[in-house]
Structure 1
Amino acid sequence: MEPKTRIWIDARKENLQNKDIKEIIYCIEDIHNEERIKQVFQAIGYYVLNLAIVQGNSLQVTYDPSRITPSFIDYLLHKNAIPFKRQGG
């Protein structure tokens, strides 16, 4: 039986270069409801960089276009039965 080898990866000093970060605004009904926030986070939270409620029913989504597109975010929200309206592009 061979001894196991452990590899330790130290990424504390790595600088991720996210030069192409974009933001998009969604109007989502009842976004201040705790259940709705949880539903939105479960739908797209893993794929985006940041989610922030900016004003009223507006949700600001910060994402990396090399990982996800606005149309796929739309798809995920629609798939999870979250009523939304995308502002802008």
Structure 2
Amino acid sequence: MKEPRVRVWIDARKEGYRPGRLEELVYTIPHIRDPRVWEKVYQTLGALVKEIEVLVPDTGRVKIVYDPARISPSFIDYLLQQKGIAFSRPGP
């Protein structure tokens, strides 16, 4: 009989693991209504974030809800840049 696996969280930075904590970012992605652009965004981020929602189709505002324990805003930016998706995001 196999022993059950146990996950252990090592908190080296004393941040405290909080599963289920979600944050959101708002991006402006031109031409998000174009199926090719939407497909690129979805294929790039769909498996890594909780939600991708187009807020205002005419202005290209997109809300991305993510788990900061899983992915960071700068990594989301990096992935979008790697796929050649033009975007802007207010803030740091």
Per the normalisation by structure 2, the TM-score is 0.74
Unaligned runs of 5+ in 1: 1-16
1:37-68 Cα shifts (integer Å, max 9, x gaps)? 00000111110000000012101000000000
Q: How does 1:1-89 map to 2 (within 5 A)?
A: 18=20, 20-55=21-56, 56-89=59-92
Which amino acid counterpart does residue 81 of structure 1 have in structure 2? G
How big is the shift at 1:27?
A: 0.4
Between Structure 1 and Structure 2, which shows a larger proportion of strand residues?
Answer: 1
Runs of 4+ with >3 A deviation: none
CA deviation after TM superposition for structure 1 residue 87, in Å? 2.2
Shift of 1:88: 3.0
Which deviations, in whole Å up to 9, do the C-alpha atoms of 1:5-48 show, x marking residues without a partner? xxxxxxxxxxxx51x20000010010011111000001111100
Normalised to the residue count of structure 1, the TM-score between the two structures is 0.77
* Matched length: 72
Aligned equivalents of 2:73, 2:35: Cα separation in 1: 24
CA distance in 2, matches of 1:87, 1:34: 25
Matched-pair identity in %: 35
Rg larger for: 1
RMSD: 1.0
